[in-house]
A and B are shown apart, each in its own frame.
Chain A
Amino acid sequence: MTELAQNLIDGLGRGSIYALLALGVAVVFGVMHLLNFAHGELITVGGYVALWTLGAGWSWYIVTPLIVLSAVLTSLAIERVAFSRVRGSSDFTLLLTSFGVHFVISAIFLLYVSASVKPFDRPSWVTNTYSVGPLNIEVYDTVVIAVTVLTLIGTTLLLQRTMFGLSLRAAAADFDTARLMGVRSDTVIRGAFALSGLLAGIAGVFWLMRAGSISPSAGITPMLKGVLAALIGGLGSLRGAVIGGLVLGLAEVLLRSRLPDSIASLTEGVVFLLIALLFIFRPQGLVTVKHAVRV
């Protein structure tokens, strides 16, 4: 029982980060039908910002907003340079474009910085824990969960209460109609990329705090978790993305602690198998989105 509770807390911490990543992926997918394989690069860029600023002796309190800011700016820049040119193209083109962006960015770091993994200082409290009854809770997990909840509340308010949020949801439901109703596609798409960058930035801060290092290929894992979680939740659903993230995080933690030692190191493989099974039996993901098909 204690162990289960412990797993749940650990899994929620991990799942929260995935949820933020997945939500960022889903927001962009909603307005452009683009699954952004370059989403992880937002964290990579933030990581190098962290490396340089922390190396210069700045504290995490100053570095944190810089990481988030760099992610937002990178997201907007990618949209301007690459994605704005392929708007409305086929899925195939969109996917490969984002894949190309992923490669170009990571290769630039590979070329002009270094291929090796560079460490930086983590904040001192990251590894601290405190006890509640029999449970050992990490300060880190607590902060992650709290910030995620606040971010989700903020995002919900943004989407529900502002004109931008309304445009974005309208565009996600039916882009062409939304445009006809006067929603400006440029504004909505850029706004979506900014929001996506903001969410990736927040997730990135936590990701980097835990990792304590950066390398050109560091973006791959968070990107993959993000798109997988969005898919598990049901592509096109923002709520689904958050649920997908939490489910993926919980599944990973539970499996890693429950699987016999001999295959515990293969958790990723087992999780993938489960996902493949999920799609065989529930191909639309956990949260069903009704697509109005015009025929």
Chain B
Amino acid sequence: MFPRPGRDVGFPIAGCALLFAVFLAGGLIYESFQGRAAERLVTVMLIDAIIVLGIQIYVGNTGVLSFGHIGFGAIAGYAFAVFAISPAEKLKRIPDAPFGLNDVLLNPALAVAVAIGVTVVVALVVGIGLARSGAESGAVAATVITLALLFVTHEVARNWPDLTGGNRAGLTFKVGAALDSRLPIYLCLLGALILARLFAQSRSGKLAAAAREDNLAARAMGVNPLVQQTAALLISVAVVSVGSSLRVYENGSILPDDFFFNYTLLTLAMLIVGGRNSVTGALVGVAVMTVGRELARRLGQDGFEVFGLGLDAAPLDWIFRENLQTVFLGLAMLGFMIFRSDGLLGDWELDGWLWRLWHRRKPEERPEPLAEVAPVGLHVEVDREGAALEVHDLAVDFGGFRALDGAGLTVGPDEVVGLIGPNGAGKTTLVNVITGIVEPSTGWFKLGEREMIGAPSHEIARAGLLRTFQNLRLFGALTVRQNVELAARVAAQHRPGNHPPVDALIAEAGLWHVRDRRARELDYGSARRLELARAAAMAPAYLLLDEPTSGMSDAESAEMIGRIRHMAAAVDAGVLVIDHDLNFITGISDRIYVLDQGQVISAGTPDEVQADPAVRAAYLGAESDAEGRA
């Protein structure tokens, strides 16, 4: 699950250690000037950092806004308190504790472990609901569930006095039982940093990021977002549990309001201000917000004086009232959302920057051409002999509109087959059916002997049917190379065998010079070629290309013919290509199917199809009409 040791892990770990050192040094220096007064401030900042990093693992990698992490924190906090507080103290607050919890006493470290366990179990149940509704109705639905979780843990904490001590009393440790050294906090923070950073770099983290960038494209590439999001949630909740336990221990008590809206606002503001997609950003956010709050507090308390100019406390008193913090936090959040929604750092990472500095000195060599490193015979352990793609009698209805009406076709393992038809003929719908996005009302399709109807998108992709999209679905925030690499990683897990080398594919697609550019910065033609390379990296049995030249000039389009055929031959894949451009389809295809109004009206070699009077009437007529109008 984590990056290969040695090669990929060094920089993130070193970067985290450096970050930790700088962060801590800042706190300690302030403390040395301010003395004991600042001690608690620094401790609180360190603990906040752990919790914010925990939230970042989920929010940053999955892109789902969660209000619920502080709710999970409350569960962990109570679990920790119930197990770590001595029976004598508990007798005062919760004499009727259920399940005989009154007599239990664990040492703090074990109690933290219990807290993690309890919280992770809750998170597992909630997480599956989250991921499923998120996949169905978008991230918004998932966010509402997390909000409800926060609210409900608070309600339960208030209304279950037998366990939680209720709303007023809460649970308290014996006076003076707080941590006698900060060492555990240091270790936990460093651990949280490294975990967050490594998770973002791991296969799981990258796949979650892919689903964040484009859920549909990720599924069409064989990623099951449900698994990645749940993994991110569990790890994230575990880190939050540790932080929350420390918070409770440090406070010496826990009340329902300690883990509710205000703390949610604070932690989220820290995350947003710094930059939710970056671990470095999360830490910067914690530092900035802590300094900001402290500054506001001291200004309100003492007034200020700089170079003889200044104000005493009185006129500022009304501004820096205690509750104004909330307004500030809310406004900071609003301001960042409106003007800079990716926070201060965006997705900048310290170790990534160091890595680029380090590698700038040695330029990479252009890889060998694909045909030489990967001649035909990149066999994947799927029996290709006769593993034809057969589509039979598909019908799809959208309300009253029949998009497909008994369409069928066959593609052989080494063939390039074209599917042509005027706009609205049902071409894309056909691809959507055989990639599991649309369910047909009748019909079936098979890959070799395997019946594929009803399989979810990601399983179809893993079986070897890989598609591109008419309207381009790349993972915009990832670089060209990361886009392709991601597909290769999915392939490595789900399609055993030899795989085309990532760099060679990138060069083959003519993208070598932009390999470290973000996908969303690419021009249209390059983006199309990247989508092709990404699909090819999965070592597909069949490539399904939906209008691979749409938006390209005639010259680019002609060049694309050679590129597609060459790349398909190199990775040993059959091709089904869809377009309404007759020149392109006849130029690239061995055989052609013509689709009109949901039915195949003609099939054969390019010459046969072009000569077919039915095609001339239905397709060419319609197309020339359309051109006439335009």
Residues of chain A at the chain B interface (Cβ within 8 Å): 29, 33, 35, 37, 82, 85-86, 89-93, 95-97, 99-104, 106-108, 110-111, 115, 217, 220, 224, 227-228, 231, 234-236, 265-266, 268-269, 271-272, 275-277, 279-280, 283-285, 290, 292-295
Contacts and interface: CB of A to CB of B under 8 A. Distances in A.
Given A103-B329, A111-B324, A266 B160 contact: yes
Interface of B: 63, 65, 67, 125-126, 128-130, 132-133, 135-141, 143-145, 147-149, 151-152, 155-156, 159-160, 216, 261, 265, 268, 272, 321, 323-324, 326-327, 329-331, 333-334, 337-338, 341, 398-399, 428, 432, 437, 469-471, 473, 546
Contact of B145 (A89, A92, A104, A276): A276
A271 B159 CA distance: 14
A131 B182 CA distance: 66
Nearest to B334: A100
User: Interface centre among A91, A271, A276, A284, by most B CB within 10 Å?
Assistant: A276
A109 to B, nearest CB: 10
A228 B338 contact: no
B330 A100 contact: yes
B132 A96 contact: no
Given A100-B333, A228-B144, A269-B155, A235 B137 contact: yes
Contacts, number: 155
Contact of A280 (B129, B216, B268, B321): B129
Contacts of A86: 337-338
A7 to B, nearest CB: 21
20 contacts: A85-B338, A91-B138, A91-B139, A92-B65, A96-B268, A97-B337, A97-B338, A100-B330, A100-B334, A104-B327, A107-B327, A227-B144, A235-B138, A235-B140, A266-B160, A275-B148, A276-B125, A279-B133, A279-B141, A284-B133
Contact of A96 (B137, B272, B470): B272
Secondary structure type dominating chain A contacts: helix
A110 B140 CA distance: 28
B148 A91 contact: no
Contact of B338 (A82, A106, A275): A82
Secondary structure type dominating chain B contacts: helix
B491 to A, nearest CB: 22
A89 B144 contact: no
A269 B546 CA distance: 48
Nearest to B125: A276
B141 to A, nearest CB: 6
B129 A295 contact: no
A92 B331 contact: no
Contacts of A293: 216, 437
A224 B261 contact: no
Contacts of B144: 35, 227-228, 231
Contacts of A104: 327, 330-331, 334
Given A35-B140, A92-B65, A280 B132 contact: yes
A266 B156 contact: yes
B341 A92 contact: yes
A217 B326 CA distance: 12
Nearest to A227: B144
B140 A108 contact: no
Given A279-B145, A295-B473, A269 B139 contact: no
A227 B147 contact: yes
Contacts of B156: 266, 268-269
